[in-house]
Chains A and B, each alone.
Chain A
Amino acid sequence: QKEVEQDPGPLSVPEGAIVSLNCTYSNSAFQYFMWYRQYSRKGPELLMYTYSSGNKEDGRFTAQVDKSSKYISLFIRDSQPSDSATYLCAMSPPSMDTGRRALTFGSGTRLQVQP
Chain B
Amino acid sequence: GAVVSQHPSRVICKSGTSVKIECRSLDFQATTMFWYRQFPKKSLMLMATSNEGSKATYEQGVEKDKFLINHASLTLSTLTVTSAHPEDSSFYICSARDFAGWRGDTQYFGPGTRLTVL
Contact = CB atoms under 8 A, between A and B. Distances in A.
Given A41-B112, A42-B111, A96-B102, A107 B32 contact: no
Interface residues of B, number: 30
Interface stretch (A43-51, A54-62, A64-72, A75-83): A43-51
Interface of B: 2, 4, 6, 31-32, 34, 41-44, 46, 49, 51, 57, 91, 93, 95, 99, 102-112, 114
Contact of B44 (A49, A88, A95, A96): A88
Contacts of B31: 98
Interface of A: 31-32, 34, 36, 41-46, 49, 51, 88, 90, 92-96, 98-103, 105-108, 110
Given A43-B93, A98-B99, A108-B43, A92 B6 contact: no
A45 B41 CA distance: 16
Given A94-B102, A98-B99, 14 more contacts: A32-B105, A32-B106, A42-B111, A45-B109, A46-B108, A51-B103, A94-B104, A96-B102, A100-B51, A101-B32, A102-B34, A102-B105, A105-B44, A107-B42
